[in-house]
Structure 1
Amino acid sequence: MRDTAILLLNLGGPVNLDQVEPFLAALFGDRDLIRLPGPAWLQGPLSRLIARLRAPGAKVRYGQIGGGSPLLRESALQAAELRTALRAAGRPELVKLCFRYAAPRAEGLLKALKRDGVRKVVPVTLYPHDCRATTGSSLRELVVEAAKAGIEILPGIEHYATDPDYLDALERPLRAALEDLPEATVIFSAHSLPVRQIEAGDPYEKEIAATREALIARIGPIPGGYLQAYQSRTGPVRWLEPPLKDVLETMGGKDVIIVPMSFVSEHIETLHELDIEYRHVADQAGIRTYRRVPTPGTDPAYIRCLTRRVLEILP
């Protein structure tokens, strides 16, 4: 079915420092992700102002992790692994990336696919947890642009918080870390979300809890125990708590293992926020050992998760 393409949905990121400000403007311009004060028409001008103000600091942080986000490269590797697995199963569908705030974005991608004869797309989220601010926003943009391009959107994969293969990809590196640090406290860290979005019915917090509890059930009791924390807060609104910084500041003298829960690829929030900023917090707090486990990336179990779910829904 060469008239069908599988689209892997993700956030995207600036691949170089020149792209940082446009990326931030797109990010802050999305009212599904961040609802800035005032009417909807003011979101655009405010987002551009915020991007201009934040860009210098953001460029410093991206410079410290290599001069840009590795998310495009990481997602491309995931797409290549999924494509290989699907070809082995006899499926000829195209596998493409579709980012929300950086190229390749839905508008240009769908126009190009239409020129190449694609008539249908299957969205597959690289956000494991159902969330209206991430998967929801990506799907809404996809619906708008698919209608313009005359492309049909088929049922896709919107979340997999407790998929056994996804859990395998999280469990394996966590067990390895616990073998090295058997007395450590495991802290599950997820991207935070404004409380008002949860109160409006967003399932994200419940999905995060489902993954956490499934992993705890697999690992079992540990001497250091388990904690939940949230990272990546921005703006003067109430966010899901507790903040990771506050939790780390209470862990002096202990070993800590950080499990990034809501990310499947390495990017600014793992490579800088967790590995640099929060490692500094840990050092200041007197934490004995600070260990962060890797994201699933191209772990074979994670690729199996995506492959199996795609095969289950393809016509």
Structure 2
Amino acid sequence: MNDMTPPTPLPHAPADHPAVRFGKTGVLIANLGTPDATDYWSMRRYLNEFLSDRRVIDYSPWIWQPLLQLVILTKRPFSSGEAYRGIWNTEADESPLMTITKEQTAKITERMKQRYGDDVIVDFCMRYGNPSTESRVNALIEKGCDRILFFPLYPHYAGATSATANDQFFRSLMKAKWQPAARTVAPYFEHPQYIDALARSVETAYGDLDERPDVLVTSYHGVPKRYLLEGDPYHCQCQKTSRLLKERLGWEDGEIVTTFQSRFGPEEWLKPYTVEEVARLAESGKKKIAVIAPAFSSDCVETLEEINEEIKESFEEAGGESFTYIPCLNADAAHIDVLSTVIEDNLKGWLD
């Protein structure tokens, strides 16, 4: 689809004023990011950008950067590359996160066209890696978007996810000669449609199983416990999502357990840790479990590799017998409904 409108003379401008594109509204979806490839240098570039973000690792650069550059980035690209190779979309030569984000964007574009015609242009960017936030902001401005709705694809707010995505968006706007009006989308962790979409994915997965799992583990990406104590609302929002999901399913206490994964570094992170909790469940007699990752809008290395391999292995080594991973909502129709509703709600006043 060609969404490049022809340049138009500005109203009331002199005849010799350069024609410009304007009058469009952009929706920019932002996901975490992905390496361009699985080789050492591609992984190193990606990890360097990610782990140098002060929102993600807030230690003093004088301490952190020598450790990162001389130790971590010497070894970690090899292990991370191996993890990505195990899930890589070889046909498209890209990570699953990239494939899914493209599909989400295409389906949301279709929905926005049905709702707003050609007035809205939808695109996506990555906080780390490509396509960069700045490149897509510039592309939307060049297509005539003088209003941009920025949508970090994180149901829950965290400084290390939503906030750093917004930071990068605003840094990009700082460089614009004609800066568009801008809005950011608030977290939607308690949105009824989101909770319903999660519940339906659980119901569908359970309906395909011969035996009902003893426990549903809701595994959220972790952050240091210190962030919670410093005012980050992420932990509370995750707990509320789990509670609302339990209520929507009509389940009893104990049928859903909230855990946190992907711990990094020496300090204490939010607990219980998923990898330890699934082993404890197995040892306590819960031999059949299912795991869902509500904080992820798209399946990625943390779900496809960490949950479906490392965490599954921890459960089975502790005596677990049946492990079911319930995929992220991805480009499922119910998820596209949620995201489209959130977008439409946030465009009110601009497009009514």
What range describes the TM-score normalised by the shorter chain of this pair?
A: over 0.9
TM-score (norm 1): 0.93
1:178 matched to 2:195? The reply is no
Q: Which moved more, 1:232-241 or 1:159-168?
A: 159-168
Output the CA distance in 1 between the equivalents of 2:128 and 2:304. 19
Output the CA distance in 2 between the equivalents of 1:215 and 1:290. 20
**Structure 2 residues without counterparts, runs of 5 or longer:** 1-21
Q: CA deviation at 1:85?
A: 0.6
CA contact (8 A) 1:178 1:184 kept: no
Q: Which moved more, 1:147-156 or 1:99-108?
A: 147-156
Change (3 A) 1:153 1:236: farther
Q: CA deviation at 1:183?
A: 4.5
CA contact (8 A) 1:131 1:203 kept: yes
**1:116: which partner in 2?**
143
Q: How many residues align structurally?
A: 313
Output the CA distance in 1 between the equivalents of 2:197 and 2:217. 17
Output the CA distance in 2 between the equivalents of 1:308 and 1:198. 29
Change (3 A) 1:123 1:41: farther
Q: Which amino acid aligns with 2:32?
A: L
Q: Pairwise mapping of residues 1-315 of structure 1 onto structure 2 (< 5 A)?
A: 3-18=24-39, 19-36=42-59, 38=60, 40=61, 43-44=64-65, 46-49=67-70, 50-66=72-88, 69-92=95-118, 93-150=120-177, 151-179=179-207, 180=209, 181-221=211-251, 225-252=255-282, 253=285, 254-314=287-347, 315=350
CA contact (8 A) 2:121 2:140 kept: no
Q: CA deviation at 1:56?
A: 0.7
Between Structure 1 and Structure 2, whose CA radius of gyration is higher?
2
Q: Which moved more, 1:224-233 or 1:42-51?
A: 42-51
TM-score (norm 2): 0.84
SS in 2 for 1:5: strand
Output the CA distance in 1 between the equivalents of 2:332 and 2:307. 20
Deviations 1:193-231 (A, max 9, x none): 111111111110111011111000011225962211110
Q: Which amino acid aligns with 1:82?
A: I
CA contact (8 A) 2:147 2:182 kept: yes
Q: Percent identity?
A: 28
**Structure 1 residues without counterparts, runs of 5 or longer:** none
Output the CA distance in 2 between the equivalents of 1:70 and 1:176. 22
Q: CA deviation at 1:51?
A: 2.5
Q: Which moved more, 1:195-204 or 1:170-179?
A: 170-179
Q: How well do the aligned residues superpose, as a CA RMSD in angstroms?
A: 2.0
SS in 2 for 1:149: coil
Deviations 1:245-303 (A, max 9, x none): 11111222510010112101111001100111111112211112000101001121211
